[in-house]
Each structure stands twice: as C-alpha cells, then as structure tokens.
Structure 1
Amino acid sequence: TIRLEQNYRSTQNILDAANAVIRHNAGRKGKTLWTENGGGEKVGVRTVLNEQDEAAFVTGDILSAVGRGARFRDAAVLYRMNAQSNALEYAMKRSGVPYKVVGGMKFFDRAEVKDMLAYLCVLNNPLDDLRLRRIINSPARGIGGTTMDKVAALAEQQGASLYEICRNADLFPELKTPAKKLLQFADLIDGLRKAGGSLALPEFYDAVCEQTGYTQALKDKNDMESRGRLENVQELKSNILGFLDRQPEDATLSGFLNEIALYTDLDSLEGSDDCVTLMTIHAAKGLEFPLVYVVGMEEGVFPGSSAQYEEDELEEERRLCYVAMTRAKERLTLTHARQRMLYGKTASNRVSRFLEEAPEENLNWEGRDLRPGGTFGSSCAGGFYGGGDGSEGVRRPVYARPARPSYQEARRTAVSQTAAPSIALSKGDRIEHGVFGKGTVLSVQPMGGDALVQVDFEGAGQKKLMLKAAAKHLKKLDS
C-alpha cells in the first residue's frame, strides 16, 4: 500500500486541522497529509451572533483582502445547504461585491421564489398583468394558455386589466367554459387581500403559501426537487422577517416589495470573471481557492440534524468537512453563529463538533466572548434543527451544554464589532472606496434607515451600494 500523503495545495496549519477532524472517522484508512508549503496562517474561527452578522463579516473580510491586493475570484464561500446562500447574497449585493453561485441558482432567480413574489405583487396590486399571468395557473388550476390569451384579448378590447376580466368572467360569452375557474381565482385574490388588512406580514405570507395551494402542491409531489423548492419558499419568509427587523417603520407589503425590487436591481457585475464563488460543499470537490470561508459550523447545520444519531451519516458529514477545509490554499476561515434563521424559523445553535475536533494550536478564535466554552456533554442541538425523541436504544453523541454570555451581551458585542461609521454623501461628492478606488457620487436615494448610493468609479465603473454596508470602506475626498 502506497499512501499519497504530500499535499501541494494547502498550508500545514490547514492540513493539521483537517487531519485532526477526519481522524475521528473510525472507518477511514489512515493517511496524514503534509506539505512543503510552510505553516501558513492559523485557521480563523469566527463566532457571530446570527446569519446576518456572519454574512456581513464574510463580505467585509473579502473586501479587506481585495483591498490588500487579492482578487474577488480568489475567495470562495462554502455552505452545507443551498438556503444559506440567501443571507450571503444579500450582504454581497449591498456591498457591491460581485459573486456567482456555482451548482445552483441565485436565490431570487429560483422559479419558486419568483412565483411567491409574483403572488405578493398581485396581492399588493391586482392590476399587475405580467405577474398575474405568471401565477394564475401555478399551482395548476386548469387555466391554460389558450384561456389566458382570450382574457388578454378581452382586456385589450375593454381597456381593462387581466384581473378585472377574471373578476367578471361570467359576463363574457368567450369565457363561458373557464368562467368558474377564473372567478374562483379572483375570489382567492380578493380573500387574501382582505385578510392582509388584519394579519402581520409574516402571518400573511403563511396564509398566501397555504391558501394558494402552492406549498401543498410541492408537498404532494414529495420528491427531492420539490422538497428543495419548498425549503426555498419557506426561506423567503426569512427575508420578510429580516425586513421587519431592519425597517420596522415601513412594515408593509409594499415596503417589503420595494426593498426586494431594490435588492434585485443592485450591481452584481453579471458575467465578470472576477467574482466571489458561492457554492455548496458538495459542489466544491476537486476545486481550490486561496481564500475559503466555510459558514454555518453548527450542530444541526453542519453536521445536519439527521446525521447526529447515525454513525455512517456523521462520518460522511465529517468527510465533507475535510473536503471543505482542504479547498483552501492560503487562508481558511470557519464561522459559527449563536443563532440562525433558516426557512423562516430561528434556532439557537451549538458549535459544530467539527470545530471542537480541530486542535487549538492550529486555530485562531475571533469573537471569543461569543465562543461557547468547554467540551460537549449530554445534550445535543435542539430547537428547529431537531434533537432526540427520548427513545431507548438510539446511539447519541455525548456533548456538554456550553456556557454563554446573555443574548443582550452578545448583541452589544456583535454590534460594536460590525457597526459601520456614519458618512453623509450628496450628489457630486468625490469619494474613495477601499476596493473600487476613487469615484463621483451620481445619486443618493434614501431607503428607510439606509440609502442607495450610485457611484461612478474611475476604475470599476458605475456601482450601486447600500450606504450602511459600504460606509466603513468609504471616505470623502476634498473637492
């Protein structure tokens, strides 16, 4: 047996940490990687408050690296579940960081997310013909393209909207056959619009998902693709809850839709080769990057909740962790959130066992006041991500409940670490960005407690940035 143990990619600190983690797999044949690349930086471990702080940290750290001479394409962000890209994409959009999603679609480009946003747009404005046509037969209601062509022709003749024709379908002989289905759809829209007057936005979204039959149709299919689409529909609720947290003074459906319209309009440099790579760990096999961030190092996320009590699944998760860590050539950063919102639900998370399995001498912990202390003990991750059912005879991992600061203390720490300095900008101001260089402000558009700034950079061209996210990288220049 000849073991190929020399590694030509990573530094020794990265390899030592990865070797220590994979060594916990009982079924693995022994192999210890080594390199001639030198020790390199220690593996960074960052504990943050939640997924938004995590995304802000990763985005800011990448911008700082680019400011020191790195390129955007040098960085990759790896995650266990596709839904984790949502917060990351949001932060990168706001900061003007170009990115691409490999092995999957960007969150707001996914068909099911577009469908649910189309429902919300029609409920906010029933005269939105484009989006009404998208959702009138999704899920299937027996209203096909031929029927909608007739409705569109009548709308043009009458100078009316598609909704108004559907609302009065029984008055048109051309629609005699599909009239009942069209009226039922109009009643659905009317009923939800009425309910929207008394429901908070998150509960209203739940009602839309249920009463339109959209989520039930996905559940009925019960295949892997439909389950993934259902998770994305549920993850859209995370955006609603995040919006309410950021903009409590504008907690309306129209306010949320305006923010989404702004978000999808922000620069991402589509087609640029120089962009950050976002991908699942599965998609990262065989690839390498100078800078790698592995996010979501928490029990129930990575490893997943289903792997906590099955040794084979746990060993597969550990192999994935090993793969993720060894994608890094020069610098590896692992992040862990105290709590995380996924699929519209928030859970308090314990640090991943994989972090505890890495040697302390190879790690550089940041945010230690947020870091869980001690070793694992008798209870596992609970909350949304699952936990035991109390049944006997099930093999359970042995963990200890770590001591933690209060939520308020953690929040104050996170805010102090991530708060951006305030900066007032006006049209015509000359500024300098730490990454994009010098530029001229073309416009400043207030957005709730933030502002959308459009800047013409001398080297990077025109970009749209959210002021709060970009402020710590900006400075005003004398005219």
Structure 2
Amino acid sequence: MTTRIDIFSELSGRQKEAVQHTEGPLLIVAGPGSGKTRVMAHRIAYLTSVEGVAPWRVLAVTFTNKAARELRERAESLVGGDNSGLQVRTFHSFCAYVLRQDGGQIGLDPAFSIYDGDDQQRLVRSILEELDLDPKQFAPRAILSGISDAKNKMIDDSRLSKLSKSYFEEVVARVYVRYTELLATANAVDFDDLLLRAHTLFENNPEVLEKYQDRYRHVLVDEFQDTNAIQFSLARLLAAKHKNICVVGDPDQSIYSWRHADIRNLTDFQSVYPDTKTVTLDQSYRSTQTILDAASGVITHNDERLKKDLWTENNRGAPVTVGEAYDEDEEARVVLQEINRLVDEDDFDRREIAVMYRTNAQSRAMEAACNRHGVTYQLVGGTKFYERKEIRDTVAYLRLTVNPSDDAALERIVNVPARGISPRSVDAIRTIARTRGTSMLNVILQVDDEELGLEEALNKRAVNSVRAFADLMERLIEQSIILSAVDLLDLTLERSGYKRLVQEDKERGEERWDNILELRGSASNFEGPEPRERLIEFLENVALVSDIDSLEDDEDAITLITLHQAKGLEYDAVFMIGMEEGLLPHSRSLESVADTEEERRLCYVGMTRARKRLYMFHAFQRGFRGSRGAMMPSRFLGEIPLACVETVSIRRNSRTVRKVTPARGAAAGGSRGYDPTDIKRQAVTSGAVRTAQRGDFRVADRVSHPTFGDGIVIEAVDTGGDTEVTVAFGNGNGLKKLMAEFSGLKKVEPGKSTKAKHEDPELGDAFLDAP
C-alpha cells in the first residue's frame, strides 16, 4: 500500500498543501506545466491510502478521454491493490453512465444511442423538409447551433418559442420541438442532452441525486475554467451534501467560450464557496524561464484573470524566435528547414515537435510542404478514423442492433450494401413511422401488416428487399444478446454483405478493410460477461471519442494541430504559424474586449506548450478564404518582452536570414517589447522604418470604410496636409491606399460585444445567426 512518505516524496510544498486539504472546497490555480495531473493523482492516492476513503467514493471528472486515461493510470499506479470502483471520467462519459443507470426515471431506455454531428444534421435536414423549409435558407448547422445554445442555457423546447425575437429564431424553436420528439422516438440523445438530461434527472429526482451524493464523498474537477453553466451546476449538486469539492484550473487557459464555457466559474468560485481554500501552483516543470517570461508578458495584458508569477528551476533557455516570411508557402518551407536542423543538429525527436495554428485551413501549406519534402506528419483533426465511411457504416449496424429505435443509424445502412430500397422507399417508411409515432425499423419489421399500409406504398421488389432487411436485423438483434462485440461485428459484416462490398473495392478495398479490422481490434477490448452491456459500452466509447484520442505518441512524425486541440499537450519544440492580425487574434474577436482576451489566452496556451524551443512566425502576405492580401503582425508579438526575443526575416529567393538578438542587459519584465511592425513596415515601404503614428491613425488601428468594410491599418504617412493610410481590408478587398480626410475612413473602437457566439474557432467561420 502507498504510504504517506511515498505520496509526498515527489511533491513540492504547495503540491503537498493541495493534496492534504481533504475537507471542504478547494481551488487549485494551476499554471501550465505546474504538475496538476500529478497533484490530482496524488490527492486520490492520499484520500484512499491515507485517509481511508474507498476508491469508489471518489469521482474525478475532466474534459478529454486522454486526460481521463492519464489521470486514472497515474492514480491506480499510486493506489495499488484493489482500486475497483475508482471513477475517472469525462463529464459526458459520467452523465452517460448516470443516464444508463437511472435514466428510466425520465423515460430514457438504457440502450439509448448518442447522436453525433452527422446524425444531428441528417435529422434536422429531414425535419426542415417535413416543415417545408429550405435547408439552403435555414442551414442545419445554424439551426443546431441555436438548439445547442438553448440547451446550454437550460431552455427546453416548449420555452424557446416564447423567447424568439426573429423569424429565424422562430424556425429554430419549431425545429427544436420536432427534434426533441424524434430523438425521443429514436431513444437517442445528443451531446448536449447527456449533460442536460443528467441535470434534469438530479433536479427532479432527489432520491437519485442523494444516491450519487452518498456514493461520491469527494468530487474533483479538472480544467475547471472550461466548464459551462450545466457542468458547474452538476458538480455543485453532487458535492452539495459533503462539500468536498476540489476544482483545478487556470483562468489564463480558458479558451472555450464558443462551447459555452464560462471563465467566471473559476474566477468566482470563492464567491460561491466562501470557505474555499486556494492553492496556487506557479512553478512550471515544463518550460524554460525565457518561454515563461515571454508567455507572461503576453497574458498580463488581460484584465480578467487571477494573478500568478510563473517560475521554474529549469534553465533560462534559448530566446523565442519570431520570424517573418513572405507568404504561407515560404513560412512552411522555413519551418520545415528549422525542424530538420533541430532533428539533425540538436537531436530533437520528431515526435516532440508540433506546428500549431489558429484554424484548420492553415494546415494546407504545411501539409503540402511536408509531402513535397518527404516529412512524415500526423494531422490532428483531419479525416478522423471514426468518420470514415466504412467505420460509420459498420458502427451504424451495431447501433441499430442495440437500439432498434435508432432511425439515424437505420437510414445510413438500410440500403448499404445496395439491396433495392430506394430513397423513395425510405421516405415512405419514414412517413409512416412519424405518422404513427414509432421507429422506422418497427415499421420495417411489420412489413406484412396490411393495416400499416407499407406494401401499398412500395413496389413489389422494394417490399421483398424490405422483408429481407427485416430478417437480417431480427437475426442480428437476437444474436446481440449472446455474442461478444467482436463476434457480432463479424456476423454483421458477413450477413449484411458489407465485407464483400469493401473487399470488392479495387481502389481502396484493402485500406478500408484494414480500418474495419482496426475497429474490430478496438471492440476486442470490450469482452466479458453480459455481452450486450459490453457492446453498449463499446458504442459509447466510439461516440465520445475526440480528436486528441487519435494522436499516436509513438509515431515518428511531427504533429500538425490547432491551438485549441493542443490544450493539455506539450512538446520539446513548438512552431506557432500565422501570427497575424485577423488570424490570431481572429478577425471576429476584434470588436469585443472579452473575445480579444480569449484570443490572447489562446496564444498563451500555444506558447506554454513548449518545453525547450518556441518559434512564432508571421507572413507579409497570406492567401485565406479565397483572397490574398498584406498581413499585419499579431499584436501579441508586440507584447513579448524584448529580452525574450530573437527575430529573423526571410526574403523570397534569398538564402540570407537576418537575425536581431536583443541586448543582454534588457530586463525580461521591462515595458519595452518586441515590435513586430519594425519588420513589417520595412517590407511594405521597401525603405527605412517610418513613424507609426500619422495624424489620427496608427499602425494596427481597426478601421471601417463605407465601401470596403472593416480593415486594419498597416501604414500611415503624413503627406503634409493629409494622411495617406494603407489599410488591409477583409472580404477579398485587399490592400487599399486612402487619403484620411476625404475617404470616409473611421476608427473602430473595441467594445463589448453582445451578440451570441456560435463560432467554431478551428473552422474560422461563424455559424449563422440568421438565414
């Protein structure tokens, strides 16, 4: 058994303090690389091995499967012996567990399906057709964003229509009502429902809530800055009886407001729990002091934060390299050159090198360069394993076997492989099912029922095909009770004809079959008694998988990853590309102080992923969303203390690299920072650096023009009686030179935005608020 000495042997003074505080609320403010996972694992070990708390009375919740797996493994290695019942889950996994155990109290069958984004969009598209609304005018993605907003504000379908203020919102409300009805018919939930329905279960069934309160005497929540209102409320409900709630987080790393995360859950935690003990972990075991000083220089420009001064016993390290390239292609080439140098000359491992960017679209140039130069890479967030057609089809068969009410799964595979059931036949089956308030498979299984009228709606060939499909599904459902997940998968592939379909694909058959075998290998991890329950667990695991779970730690390749996806990861060398106004910070954030602060936190997260080397690149011009224009270096580069930086400027068709190393005497915390506009103004004017301020306009000012829209000033030149302003405009309008006095150009002052946020920041496009 782990002893007190064993538990404390690896901990610092503050880490010990956090581990030992076991009674009452505890807030751990954990800086990047400060060992928060170690603290949580040792806290679990201390509770179970020293305080005598049974492992099954501890609940630890985090945000990714990867983080949950790492925490569970660390805790189990410390606890040793019998650690059965130890619950380390993601929020969604925990809520799914609760609903499978007690969802019957709110009318949910334990075999419910979890609809993913594709299932949701298919369902909404069919609802729009049913309501005679054009999916091109009312994009399913925008509709789903509105429904998600409502669910995260705990507004049910019956209330939303009363709150609608526009025709589009009325449409969302109408779809929401039907969407809820059809999910219930399909015995299915979406990701938001997992949280919302678990919350509803607890609020409306005190005896159920008390059961979980008694079971979990200690509740630990990781990445607390990323929780939304429902998640915080769930944690409070679970901890209400014993008050032993420990939350770990860092407001400086709150980057998910677009997923409804609320930084105030962390910053106001002490107001909710006045007797909170707060422990700040500000010693980093990850990064060099130079990287920490650079990141701190950036994040201190935010107001909404809890102050902390990061420090480390690691060495000072190399300066942060800030580089300018001509365009995105040259940027990619230079990044790969430096990566090769790190590997060949400095013995860096490719697996410990990552290239990070703001939006998924930015990976194109890097992927092309890697392919051109033969550099192996893994792309996080590319075509995901579980989104490949052969995987989705196979999983859909298994989903329908477990949950015969799952219409989304049925529609996916009812004619795959082709068996003579046309889209028109599917429409007829769907219409009958919805008219009768039943599932499509139930209609199919009653194909010979004259009262149902299915034979009249279909031609003879289609009826025979439907009858054959009914026989297939009856057989698979029967076998699911006794067969393991692997054996059922094998039977499904054979009996359905899907195995033959894939293997007859001459172009990609071998690759697709290998993918199915990979899925089969994953299913083999869910063997055991009660095979149907294990199959449900397997399908739940598939539904809740995330991008990061596909990351291969042992692959000899560099990693291409968005800044959002990089949260929680670390690398020896990090290259942040696209460090420009309009990308980071993103153009959609510039109207709001709060949004700009979140962009700064995102930059901070990227910088603090680096252990030894940090590179930050911007381009003189960049093609983005079909247009090309001059770019302004990110304001965040100008917030890095000068003493932390060395700059490089690379000119196209030139092999020379100009390096500027700061004076050694400059103080890291000094007010003077790296000025990215120095290099930029040289590039624009092809001459000496001009003074940034001319008249009322300054470089980096956000401006608006009645014809060209919003833009950013990249140069302002006093011409004597007026100011010539060079502006980089968005929406394909490019670079314009305007005379300030007569052009109608106006400054746009940043202000607090009141509009709803529906943006997926990795895609870079906002979900529409209106058609």
TM-score, structure 1 normalization: 0.46
Which of structures 1 and 2 has the bigger CA Rg? Answer: 2
TM-score, structure 2 normalization: 0.29
